[in-house]
Chains A and B, each alone.
Chain A
Amino acid sequence: MKSEEFQERRDELNGWKINVVSYRVGDRYYCTIDNVDPGARFARAEGATREEAEAAALEKATRYLQQTRRFPTS
């Protein structure tokens, strides 16, 4: 078995830049989401289709990003 249909794209979610990676292994699609800066993976999901995997990962990512607070720096 191999990883197939590997895709990677940049997107924005709740004002944060994210990196969305998805690929298929066997009959399952996997999706992982990193914040672009610093590049930490913080959400992942799998599904029967790429769309299903991405939607589930994005839903988690949205929830997690809502908890990130911004503080004034000056």
Chain B
Amino acid sequence: MTDVLSGADVLVGTDWAAQHRADPNVRVVEVDVDTAAYDQGHVPGAIGWNWTTELCDTLVRDIVPKAKLEKLLGASGITPDTTIVLYGDNNNWFAAWAFWQLKVYGHRDVRIMDGGRKKWLAEGRELETTKPSMKTTTYAAKEPDLSIRAFLPEVQRALGRPNTAMVDVRSPQEFTGEILAPPGLPETCQRGGHIPGAKSIPWGKACNDDGTFKSRDELAALYGGQGVTSDKDVIAYCRIGERSSHTWFVLKYLLGYPNVKNYDGSWTEWGNLVGAPVER
């Protein structure tokens, strides 16, 4: 895998991250599902963001508010010109979640370290446990770009529309309703199944065993083979919106689809909604 895939400048390799970790124009940020992982050891110079407290609104269910993101980026020493390189566990689930939110608020240069934390560890690369101190900045985010975010009414209107491809990126067992949450995790919905008409393309099919993304040709075959093509409006969803942000990243940035949205309400919204149609 090369450092930059498909010329999109959004994917960097572990070598690139190692070489640029002290570059003042680059800020490496770890975002994990397991919020304790960063403290066990992280890419030297990397800062850590906590998705449960820093990348969301902790009162209302919503993505991080603009002012809160500005404060986080400022405290992280990031300016609008900084190249932000995200990585994390679970093949970059929450790194992709952070990527999506940074794009919602218009940060120009955001990249993902291909393979994430797992690849860095597997390669026996250097780690440190100290948190780097940052010179704070004043960051002004752009107004949210809602062209990459789907809300419930849009998803409801899209039901049955032939020009919209709905992609359910959860596991096949969640898709069929056999289970209500990934094995070992708490159930967070009242009904199992999927949004009528959705295609089941689990997020992990986009990755190789080492956590890196598959080639452009393989990805194009994966999604195109299910009718999820670039001429359609695509809406990706999962359970809470982080796995679907991973698929959103693949479709939008690695395959260059023009109209892709992440429905972050996902199954925790749809599967709890009174009267919502469900297919099994």
Contact = CB atoms under 8 A, between A and B. Distances in A.
A25 B39 CA distance: 11
Interface string A34-73: 1101111111101000000000000001001101111111
B178 A73 contact: yes
Contact of B183 (A1, A65, A72, A73): A65
A68 B41 contact: no
Given A3-B127, A32-B34, A73-B280, A25 B40 contact: yes
B192 interface: yes
Interface residues of B, number: 43
B174 A38 contact: yes
A41 B34 contact: yes
Interface string B173-205: 110111111111111000010000000001110
A30 to B, nearest CB: 6
Contacts of A61: 184
B180 A16 contact: no
Contact of B124 (A4, A67, A69, A70): A4
Given A16-B183, A69-B179, A1 B89 contact: no
Contact of A37 (B177, B192, B204): B204
A44 B117 CA distance: 15
A30 B40 contact: yes
Interface string B109-135: 000000000101110111111000000
A40 B179 contact: no
Given A23-B121, A42-B185, A69-B180, 15 more contacts: A1-B41, A3-B121, A8-B122, A16-B184, A25-B127, A38-B204, A38-B243, A39-B204, A40-B93, A41-B33, A42-B183, A44-B34, A44-B37, A68-B185, A71-B177
23 contacts: A3-B120, A3-B121, A3-B127, A6-B122, A16-B183, A25-B127, A35-B184, A37-B173, A38-B170, A38-B243, A39-B91, A40-B93, A40-B184, A41-B33, A41-B89, A42-B184, A44-B34, A67-B186, A68-B179, A70-B178, A71-B177, A72-B178, A73-B176
